[in-house]
A and B are shown apart, each in its own frame.
Chain A
Amino acid sequence: MPGKLKVKIVAGRHLPVMDRASDLTDAFVEVKFGNTTFKTDVYLKSLNPQWNSEWFKFEVDDEDLQDEPLQITVLDHDTYSANDAIGKVYIDIDPLLYSEAATVISGWFPIYDTIHGIRGEINVVVKVDLFNDLNRFRQSSCGVKFFCTTSIPKCYRAVIIHGFVEELVVNEDPEYQWIDRIRTPRASNEARQRLISLMSGELQRKIGLKVLEMRGNAVVGYLQCFDLEGESGLVVRAIGTACTLDKLSSPAAFLPACNSPSKEMKEIPFNEDPNPNTHSSGPSTPLKNQTYSFSPSKSYSRQSSSSDTDLSLTPKTAPYPQGPRIYLCPSSPSLSCGSLHLKKSCLLLSESSLTPHHSSLVSPVLRKSVSFSEELFLAASGMGSGSAGKEGGPFKALLRQQTQSALEQREFPFFTLTAFPPGFLVHVGGVVSARSVKLLDRIHNPDEPETRDAWWAEIRQEIKSHAKALGCHAVVGYSESTSICEEVCILSASGTAAVLNPRFLQDGTVEGCLEQRLEENLPTRCGFCHIPYDELNMPFPAHLTYCYNCRKQKVPDVLFTTIDLPTDATVIGKGCLIQARLCRLKKKAQAEANATAISNLLPFMEYEVHTQLMNKLKLKGMNALFGLRIQITVGENMLMGLASATGVYLAALPTPGGIQIAGKTPNDGSYEQHISHMQKKINDTIAKNKELYEINPPEISEEIIGSPIPEPRQRSRLLRSQSESSDEVTELDLSHGKKDAFVLEIDDTDAMEDVHSLLTDVPPPSGFYSCNTEIMPGINNWTSEIQMFTSVRVIRLSSLNLTNQALNKNFNDLCENLLKSLYFKLRSMIPCCLCHVNFTVSLPEDELIQVTVTAVAITFDKNQALQTTKTPVEKSLQRASTDNEELLQFPLELCSDSLPSHPFPPAKEHLESASSNSGIPAAQRAMTVEKASPVGDGNFRNRSAPPCANSTVGVVKMTPLSFIPGAKITKYLGIINMFFIRETTSLREEGGVSGFLHAFIAEVFAMVRAHVAALGGNAVVSYIMKQCVFMENPNKNQAQCLINVSGDAVVFVRESDLEVVSSQQPTTNCQSSCTEGEVTT
């Protein structure tokens, strides 16, 4: 399907002076696409040239349209010597290739030079005319929408969530080609930027093809990463979740999709399909057709010329030397694990058996899946011992089968989403992760990137089997990452094992009535906490109790997940950011020896990271982690582990036990005293944290326990929890049995350090909260002010004191100080919450540690807490009482305002307790905090007002979240995926490393904003800085930095504006703007 690309160069401004003699510039512009180049006239002697060129027209294949970026070069004309380049602009025209996004790109773009940074701006207009062409064998995938957002985008409805798509392409890195020795740094940087742009275009196109094969029309949770493998090449890889999305405002939303293909899926030429109904949600689809939308990837793998992971699971053993893989298997011995791994898991198991004292924490730690639950009938089949349930058994069994079969046809039942439509998530098993250490070797043939593909296939396979061991058939919140140092590479993947509702995975309308019945039976608020595996055949020892919410099903005592907190989960109090930080020294080694050393260290690091997480979670008095992200970074002489997650108190899970310290050395008076002192400190901290995060679980009366066979252990737990809540002192007394108490042994200095470090974490100053998930549990009244920021710190370790302990302390201080700085800088926004706090650690050199943080600060109004808590409750009650039909269609929660709000349980006691426990104190505290905060915030607050008339630059908001508080996203304009290199040979003159990087990041923000504004947008959501590689050579006065960012460009409308509009024209806006009412009713 060819297309015509049209480009017009309008004007330039603020150009740099290129001719010293006249203090002016004779600028002209080259416009290049593919191999075609056009030039404008030279505009003599001006720093603000007005070219006003004709339309330059490129006639190109749509394949090229997807792969190639439009390249605009601004030059200074020189009669006698070569023309000097001023800078370049790369424009990704992908957003113009699908109908719902932007129709024109027009605006001022910063002119960027990799050596000098931004040098003026250029005004460009770009349009694309596409000609329809129904060629089935085409290589392009124009029309498939891409979203970075890891939930179903607002203003869309998921018809089907197809599942995992992945792809990778490799190439040689221009920086390491022989030619790089003779060309200028600028040429080399530009070659790299262009290559990566090309590769990501190609990658996106190939993923698009897979999506079309699956009959989807969009990729959600699209994550693209670069691996700079140095000598061995450059890998660009991407994962995502294929979906069929419906625009919510479309009146035809509930009609079969085939009736309005042009509207929804402009480019999908499946009209000639014999069974068009198959991807519709119409009620009459015959049963036999239902499964075919999960076409296994094989059918299309041949089409895309590169790297499909083949499903024949005969592992293509890599011809490269390969370190032993880390395999922290959550499985019982009966589960087979590859011979390679056996050694590892044995090692770990033996370790755990050697120290039986630890057993209570070993179980969650060693298997990275820390969750347990019940609901046998639904969950069991993964373990092969399903039993029919009490109510709704047959239906569920059927449902189970369908889901099972649906997912088993899939290569990898993975979902990169972290938030889901209501009802999608049935149960959550726990975190599954896998890591593997590989040695890099030159990629010999870029067209056959099979080794890299095989590596990832292995890891994914492992994840899949972990999930199975947990009785789960799917993995949600899935992500992949790498860490590379010289020729060693650690590949990591993690996700959350889960049981899903098949309704969203297929055209599940066949059994509409059945589902409706099921819907009634499914526990809504606490269901996801219930264990998906068989209680009698648990993959690991765990403590189960009856759910504190419904009292019917079993739940684990702690739950770790990589996803966002489900919107319908009941949380007590507020959440907080919990981090585990760890360093391990390693000997410098080469190749295989190095890989082996790393492999040997990894399990210990994982173990410690989990222990730390668990300790800190208990210290906070919480019982669940969301958004868990564990990053292991490899350096020359050390390994770093950083885990971040948001801790919360889930009402459905039991009250966490405290931490008890036990000393090994007996009969030492002073030692005992020391221990008891520490114990007291810990207990005090727990009490303080409970108050700080407003964790006051409601009292539990024993009569609710309707368990048929109450196990003694659970009985005692329940009793305990009752006594706890009735008496504060006993709550901290921890006198209950050893099995529940979390015992920390301090038998050596190391452990002592650990305990100390537990207590050194300082809570954020009052008025501040922080979390790494989308929304802060327990806060629901966001105001509209947001501030996204990136902060980078690099510290140099003095090589003298390189011990593990000193290293740990340095790293810990680095992170804590960084957080403190953030709180100080943003103090004018109090009360506010840092959301989506994303830490990235890298080890650029021997003694350097670099930490990069991106997050968004959002203000909230504490005074409104009472009013707003009421409304969601009413809403949810209403919702619960309305027809199930609506629940089935489930478009409701997708709208922006209901997301931040936090629904409360319909049960009356809970309602009361919720408002009395969290609501009122929050409001009261708000008053005091407001008074206490010394910095007047009114000043700053007002500034989010619309831009003043004399400013020509529109405000573009950026946020790592998928929504904008107080506003409604009305349109997605396309994906922003940009890669920049900046280099300097005058580091001192540019203000040293800090000045250099500060300016560069500011420039990157500026370029992102400019692109969004040119697309007609006013915000970037789901913004992420995926890479920030910084290298310096102060002796040579040089530095280089690579940054890769992405996000979704959107148009948003303030909710207040929206109301004005709708009140003005109450009748005509039904179609143009989908308001809440229309969607929900």
Chain B
Amino acid sequence: MTSELDIFVGNTTLIDEDVYRLWLDGYSVTDAVALRVRSGILEQTGATAAVLQSDTMDHYRTFHMLERLLHAPPKLLHQLIFQIPPSRQALLIERYYAFDEAFVREVLGKKLSKGTKKDLDDISTKTGITLKSCRRQVVEEMRGSLVDNIQQHFLLSDRLARDYAAIVFFANNRFETGKKKLQYLSFGDFAFCAELMIQNWTLGAVDSQMDDMDMDLDKEFLQDLKELKVLVADKDLLDLHKSLVCTALRGKLGVFSEMEANFKNLSRGLVNVAAKLTHNKDVRDLFVDLVEKFVEPCRSDHWPLSDVRFFLNQYSASVHSLDGFRHQALWDRYMGTLRGCLLRLYHD
């Protein structure tokens, strides 16, 4: 006796969260059944393995039919075929678009193209995430725009939409994230920086009218950043800046002497990063530069995080007291974001 056909269709579509997770993780029906058996569900419900098999197949079939709609979440809301309560719809979408941090960290900054898809095999083995699951995650990334747009088009939660925005932002600006030096950074770190940059450094940040300009950094702003060079090029200004910072921090910093010794290097590094951002290539290397020029020197001198914070605060604030410096607003826009990024990047 073999079962030729075995289906269950409810007026309200039944969604089993556990099975959905297994499906999203790319397990085959057989594997999923095995995992469910291991979870002890048979003992809890008194069901047989055959029942579980049939149930899993059924859910997989439903998910397979739903997947077409999940690619365009608004369709899921308006479609008539599956009657799904709103809370369940939200859950379906949210889970579908959730990603594994390890995976995204890997893909981040890579050009999303067919080439990348081939590379997925490698990533898959690296991160221990199954290939099918990876494919799903790639599909999503191809489509995003910015936070609001993503939220609207994909009906995602705020948090998830922000993450997607970060990914898209990184992909668009092709930031280098794969260098060995940057391996210690998590996706969360990058996402944090991306958000700050989207908020402050893009065109959309200055002009709320230009909604779809969130993707690109404000070119004018990047051009203007050259003006900051004066802070290190002008010897007097640099000295003045240094003395201001040192006076303010004397006694408050555990690593004061190291700071004093390194001030010029650090300042030069930070300002030079700013000045270089006019070139696309240097934009790409932003994170590499920041780590090389700031994070690593500080780390080698064992600055505690609190000291880094004190220093950066004072470093950016003191500029306001430099009478000869005219680009206060520009400085704030630059340093405000950079300070946040550096603090986030400063860890082991």
Contacts and interface: CB of A to CB of B under 8 A. Distances in A.
Interface stretch (B82-90, B159-167, B193-201, B216-224): B82-90
Contacts of B85: 943-945, 947, 955
A803 to B, nearest CB: 13
B150 interface: no
B135 interface: no
A796 B5 CA distance: 9
B65 A1002 contact: yes
Contact of B3 (A793, A934, A944): A793
A814 B46 CA distance: 18
A794 B8 contact: no
A999 B13 CA distance: 12
A951 B80 contact: no
B141 interface: no
Nearest to B86: A948
Contact of B46 (A121, A765, A957): A765
Nearest to A1005: B11
B12 interface: yes
Q: Contact residue range for chain B?
A: 35 or more
B2 interface: yes
B40 to A, nearest CB: 9
A947 B86 contact: yes
A788 B5 contact: no
Given A952-B77, A994-B6, A765 B45 contact: yes
B196 to A, nearest CB: 30
Contact of A820 (B3, B47, B75): B47
B284 to A, nearest CB: 34
Contacts of A671: none
A825 interface: yes
A942 to B, nearest CB: 7
B51 interface: yes
B345 interface: no
A897 B77 CA distance: 34
B78 interface: yes
Interface string A691-735: 000000000000000000000000000000000000000000000
A998 B9 contact: yes
Interface string A906-943: 00000000000000000000000000001100000011
B51 A817 contact: yes
Given A953-B77, A956-B83, A1001 B7 contact: yes
Contacts of B79: 14, 953
Given A765-B45, A821-B54, A951 B77 contact: yes
Interface residues of A, number: 63
A953 B77 CA distance: 7
Given A792-B7, A991-B61, A953 B45 contact: no
A1009 B9 CA distance: 14
Contact of B11 (A789, A823, A945, A1030): A789
Nearest to A818: B6
A787 B10 contact: yes
B64 interface: yes
Interface in A66-118: 108, 110, 118
A792 B6 CA distance: 6
B8 A991 contact: no
Contacts of A798: 1-2
A745 B62 CA distance: 49
Interface in A761-778: 765
A958 to B, nearest CB: 4
B84 to A, nearest CB: 9
Contacts of A1006: 80-83
A950 interface: yes
B277 to A, nearest CB: 39
A792 B8 CA distance: 7
A824 B7 contact: no
A441 interface: no
A361 interface: no
A191 interface: no
Nearest to B8: A791
A407 B113 CA distance: 81
Contacts of B46: 765
A950 B76 CA distance: 12
Residue of B2, B9, B47, B61 contacting most chain A CB atoms (<10 Å) = B9
Interface in B76-118: 77-83, 85-89
Interface in B9-27: 9-14
A948 B51 contact: no
A1010 interface: yes
B57 interface: yes
A789 B8 contact: yes
Contacts of B77: 950-953
B261 interface: no
Contact of A824 (B10, B11, B45, B61): B45
Contacts of A1002: 9, 13, 65, 81-82
Interface in A1004-1040: 1005-1006, 1009-1010, 1030
B247 interface: no
Contact of B87 (A822, A848, A943, A1010): A943
B50 interface: yes
A347 interface: no
B4 interface: yes
Given A791-B7, A827-B45, A948-B86, A994 B61 contact: yes
B87 A998 contact: no
B300 interface: no
A1010 B7 contact: no
B10 to A, nearest CB: 4
Interface string A940-973: 0011110110111101111000000000000000
Contacts of B148: none
A1010 B88 contact: no
B1 A825 contact: no
A1006 B12 CA distance: 10
A797 interface: yes
Nearest to A990: B65
A848 B6 CA distance: 13
A938 to B, nearest CB: 12
A488 interface: no
B44 interface: yes
A842 to B, nearest CB: 12
A1003 interface: yes
A57 B155 CA distance: 41
A266 interface: no
Among B14, B79, B83, chain A packs the most CB atoms within 10 A around the CB of B83
B4 A848 contact: yes
Interface in B49-82: 50-52, 54-55, 57-58, 61-62, 64-65, 75, 77-82
Nearest to B7: A998
A934 B45 contact: yes
Interface in A961-998: 991, 993-995, 997-998
A787 B11 contact: yes
A956 B11 CA distance: 9
B306 interface: no
- The 10 nearest A-B residue pairs measured at CB: A948-B86, A943-B85, A794-B5, A789-B10, A934-B44, A794-B4, A788-B11, A1001-B9, A998-B7, A958-B11
19 contacts: A13-B78, A118-B80, A121-B80, A787-B11, A791-B8, A793-B3, A793-B6, A793-B7, A795-B1, A817-B48, A821-B54, A934-B44, A934-B45, A944-B85, A945-B85, A953-B83, A955-B85, A958-B11, A1002-B9
Given A821-B54, A952-B77, 17 more contacts: A14-B75, A110-B80, A789-B9, A795-B2, A796-B1, A798-B2, A820-B47, A824-B52, A825-B55, A825-B58, A943-B85, A950-B86, A951-B89, A956-B83, A957-B11, A1009-B11, A1030-B5
Interface of A: 13-14, 108, 110, 118, 121, 765, 787-798, 810, 813-814, 817, 820-825, 827, 848, 850, 934-935, 942-945, 947-948, 950-953, 955-958, 991, 993-995, 997-999, 1001-1003, 1005-1006, 1009-1010, 1030
